[in-house]
Structure 1
Amino acid sequence: MEYSVHIRMNERLFLREPESSDLGRRIIRQGILLFNDVGFEEATFRKLAERINTKEASIYRYFENKHRLLVYLVAWYWQWVDFQLVFQTNNLTSPREKLEKLLRLLLLLDLDDSFSDDMDIRALHSTVIREASKVYLTHHVTEDNRQQLFKPYKDLCQRIADIILAYRPDYPYAHSKASSLIETSHYQSFFMQNLPSLTDFKQADSSEPEAMNKLLDFMRHLLFSSLDAV
């Protein structure tokens, strides 16, 4: 049986709902691939227009600029992760098992691309690793936050914090730990591929099972050594 899940996005992220048309859907899906291929700095709406065989002006009818497109993609990813976390832990009663699932999900191990809505999740994950901080490290972060553009990230962190507190109710840093887990998994994955001297994981390709298993062990240590401390 196949399922389809529609992720509802903040209307302030776009000028026209991209999922409402074939062109809009191609903008999103090819936008992911463009950011993954050339990076945020080198990406332009002109290059994206060439990929989808349309005019640059057509893309501006959906997004006011490439930063807004990036915010949209990153927000979509956080909502996808949040849904996956709920779905994959729905039948689990042990908070520790839920946290183990979380770590594997953050590293995109055992990927189940169900409910991906034809998005290239691995390409989007790679883009989020490299570009997500550019979403909020801006001078207009306060205004963007007022418009709730970061709500999907906050919701995911809250869900993780709730699981942490279910595992250890007296832990005083659940929200800090939640956001740190996400950011550490991304930074370490980036360092593995680009700056391996900043890690203890020397394989340049983070898709290598041995390297990812070592990173998973590190994430377990980072999480449970603090939660299990007396």
Structure 2
Amino acid sequence: MNIKTNITLSVCSSTFKKDPVSSELGKRILRGAIDLIDEVGLEAFTFRKLALKVSSTEASVYRYFESKYHLMGYLVSWYWSWMQYRLTLKLANIEDPMDKLSRTITMLTEKIEEDSDFLFINEVKLSKIVVAESSKLILHKNVDESNEQGFFVDYKKFVQIVSDIVLEYNPSYKYPHMLTSTIIEGVHFQYFFTEHLPKLTDVIEGENSIETFYKEMLFNLIQKK
């Protein structure tokens, strides 16, 4: 029996006008948006193209999302809520903070696979979008407004969870949030470099060099004195 049914993840309500998960059209819009952004990138993505892809109208898409940046904000928020859900499962019944941190780095660096609990989301494509496109939600002039609206609340929750584990391991470490966000963003960059700019990273055959590097960096930085 599958006990993980009817799971609902919390997503910042400021990112949508109507919850897309509440209807079949909304779920089609999410699936189509992920496929289209993965295919053409955020810059070339438009609601007109999305409407054609999901056999609906541009007006219907606007009933769910104010703009493509709100839709992107929804997808990124959903991703980090899902990652928090995965981390909770991975760390269940684990008491040792060092083991928790090691498992967390493994989760952040391992290959993403589709999750059958959420059929309206292709997590493999979504993870590629987060790596390639999510920084565009942060590195722009309206980021403060987006932050006030709560666009990054699920990302910040995830960073806080990992930061708390860092402090479990070493309560005297002064930079847990800086370390956690640096690792997360760094992992994204390294995966992007691996696929597109391999001269900027180190790919070692038979090894997840990104996982190994960030585990070494993490524990070297936070080791107890």
Same structural fold, with TM-score higher than 0.5 when normalized by the shorter chain: yes
What amino acid is aligned across from residue 216 of structure 1 in structure 2?
E
C-alpha distance in 2, partners of 1:114/1:162?
29
Q: Is the alpha carbon distance of 1:75 and 1:197 closer, same or farther for their aligned partners in structure 2, counting shifts above 3 Å?
A: same
Q: Please point out which of 12, 15, 22 is paired with 2:14.
A: 12
1:106 aligned residue? 108
Note closer, same or farther for the CA distance 1:217–1:169 as it changes in structure 2 (3 Å cut). same
What's 2:175 paired with?
173
CA distance in 2, matches of 1:29, 1:150: 21
Give the 3 Å change call, closer, same or farther, for CA 92–110 of structure 1 in structure 2: farther
Aligned structure 1 segments of 4 or more residues deviating by more than 4 angstroms: none
Give SS of 1:41's match. coil
Structure ranking higher on relative contact order (CA contacts 8 Å, 6+ apart): 2
Which residue of the partner structure matches residue 206 of structure 2? 210
Residue 104 of structure 1 contacts residue 110 of structure 1 at CA under 8 Å; is this kept in 2?
A: no
The runs of 5 or more residues in structure 1 that have no matched partner are 203-208
Deviation at 1:116, TM superposition (A): 3.3
TM-score (structure 1 length as normaliser): 0.91
1:224 aligns to 2:219 (yes or no):
yes
The 3-state SS of whatever aligns with 1:40 is: coil
Mapping for residues 1-230 of structure 1, pairs under 5 Å: 1-2=1-2, 3-4=4-5, 5-109=7-111, 111=113, 113=115, 115-201=117-203, 210=206, 213-228=208-223, 230=225
Matched residues in 2 for 1:110 and 1:102: separation? 14
**CA RMSD of superposed structures (Å):** 1.8
Question: Please, which moves more after superposition, 135-144 or 149-158?
Answer: 135-144
Summarize deviations over 1:8-39 as a string: whole Å, max 9, x none: 22221111111111111111122111111111
How far does the alpha carbon of each residue in 1:48-71 deviate from its partner, in whole angstroms, 9 at most, with x for none?
Answer: 112111112211111111111101
Decide whether the 8 Å contact of 2:159 with 2:177 is kept in 1.
yes
Deviation digits for residues 132-188 of structure 1, max 9, x if unmatched?
111122211111111222110110000000011111111111111111111011000
Q: Does 134-143 or 170-179 show the bigger shift?
A: 134-143
Q: Provide the TM-score with structure 2 as the length reference.
A: 0.93
Structure 2 unmatched runs, 5+: none
The percentage of aligned residue pairs carrying the same residue is 38
**CA distance change for structure 1 residues 149 and 52 in 2, over 3 Å: closer, same or farther?**
same
The total of aligned residue pairs comes to 223
